[in-house]
Amino acid sequence: MDTIYALATAPGKAGVSVVRVSGPSAFGACKLLCGSVPNGRGLRPVRDRAGELIDEALILTFDQGRSFTGEEVVEFQLHGSPAITAAVLAELSHIQGLRPAEAGEFTRRALENGRLDLAQVEGLADLIDAETEAQRKQALRVFQGALGDKVIKWRENLIRAAALIEATIDFADEEVPVDVTPEVSELLAGVQSEMMAEAEGVRIAERVREGFEVAIVGAPNVGKSTLLNRLAGRDAAITSDIAGTTRDVIEVRMDLGGLPVTVLDTAGIRETDDVVEGLGIELARKRAEAADIVIYMLEMGEEPSQQFGSDTIIVRSKVDEPQEGIFGVSGKTGAGIDMLIAHIETDLRNKSARVGVAMRERHRIALLQGCDALHTAIGMMDSGIGMSDIIAEEIRTAVRATESLTGRVDVEDLLDVIFSSFCIGK
């Protein structure tokens, strides 16, 4: 396998830049540039082919089987000058057997060498992209192997169930020593229940990863854009006394209580003959129906004219002073804004409580495939020994579905897509 190298830190001026080298020639490259290879770590001069000093660097070395990739790895921790980094990369390019790494190639080697499973790779990608505390915690759980641990448990239970069923096939012409039906039924039902719970939590997990949506709706001039600007802390939307100012959906992304949230300011909902405004109103309705929470703004005395689902917060607008028994806000003075934010945070946190460790649509599909197979197997359990071979095959189908979660089977076509999202040095 080739030895690869890349800048592992962001390009540009910094306190420290790290150049990573991985592969069978990593230690040899270190010896060529530094004169010797430290045992674990050490300060070394880094020189070019002419013997001129490039920098003095902290060198970290990892033996095969003990590194992130599972190969020999050397990390050059350099002073963060773009000139120093460029010079070291240029010297590495002249060493035979070395080549620049492709996007995500270090992580791909970690997968191929058994250092990570596919779910951990996806968790690492999400960890790198995490912008909020909730995203970080969710990604870290998957990167640390939480989904893989569940898959191991499910696989063990399913293989145990399959072995018991296959034992009845082996004893088809004899009396089976023990009735295995109760134990097999319990194993299958337990795994199916856990897999279904994980599948149901995927949508919320995707929202934590990609962001929840909160739509502000209401009639024209009710204060939607003013509320958006107050939440954003800046003039994200144009405010005007002229009805119908907002024609399109304006999006502002923010962090609410550690959760990623996109707040949507929508066109005022009313009857109109203006074609463009009508398109904006229709778009507002669609985005509101798809949102996780709808803030429905109404003036005092006004009644709702639309239905947007159970996660709708009715808020009275232009309430400049707190009034008992009224959930009101004022985008102008800020009255009630803190209470509204707290309400949204509580609602989203309650939704997030249903999150498991399966985070992606491919996870959900695999889990549902496994659940379907187990549902079929459980339904056949009362049919007697004659159905044992079919039951065993359905259990094996469920095993393959669980194994696809961590990349043991049927995921080769996904790898290029997954690793293309990584930066070059990872």
181 is in an annotated binding site: no
**Angle (nearest 5°) at CA 318 between 288 and 215:** 10
Q: Say whether 360 counts as a known binding-site residue.
A: no
**Would the annotation count 426 as a binding residue?**
yes
The candidate with the shortest Cα–Cα distance to 280, out of 299, 260, 302, 264, is: 264
Q: What's at 74, amino acid-wise?
A: V
Q: Is 286 annotated as a binding residue?
A: no
The set of long-range contacts for 274-281, using a CB threshold of 8 Å and a minimum separation of 24, is: 274/244, 276/247, 277/244, 277/247, 279/247, 280/246, 280/247, 280/248, 280/249
Ranges assigned E (strand) in 268-420: 293-298, 312-316
**410 annotated as a binding-site residue:** no
Is 115 marked within a binding site? Answer: yes
Q: 39 among the known binding-site residues?
A: no
Secondary structure E strands in 160-249: 212-218
Q: Is 65 annotated in some ligand binding site?
A: no
Q: Is 241 annotated as a binding residue?
A: yes
Per the annotation, does 25 bind a ligand?
no
Sign of the C-alpha dihedral computed for residues 77, 82, 85 and 88 taken in this order: negative
267 marked ligand binding residue? yes
Give the distance, in angstroms, between the CA of residue 281 and the centroid of all CA atoms in the same chain.
32
Residue 137 annotated as binding site: no
Both tokens of 325, joined, read 């028994």
104 is in an annotated binding site: no
Under a CB-based contact definition with an 8 Å cutoff, are residues 105 and 419 in contact?
Answer: yes
310 is in an annotated binding site: no
The one-letter amino acid at 356: G
Q: Are strands 293-298 and 212-218 parallel, antiparallel or unpaired?
A: parallel
Instruction: Tell whether residue 266 is among the known ligand binding residues.
Output: yes
Q: Which residues, 6 or more positions from 96, have their beta carbon under 8 angstroms from its beta carbon?
A: none
Known binder of ligand: residue 20? yes
Confirm whether residue 222 is marked as ligand binding: yes
* 162 marked as part of a ligand binding site: no
Q: Is 268 assigned to a binding site?
A: yes
Structure tokens at 95: 């060493």
Q: Which parts are annotated binding residues for GTP? A: 221-226, 240-246, 265-268
Q: Which parts are annotated binding residues for (6S)-5-formyl-5,6,7,8-tetrahydrofolate? A: 20, 75, 115, 426
Q: Which parts are annotated binding residues? A: 20, 75, 115, 221-226, 240-246, 265-268, 426
Q: Which parts are annotated binding residues for K(+)? A: 221, 240, 242, 245
Q: Which parts are annotated binding residues for Mg(2+)? A: 225, 246
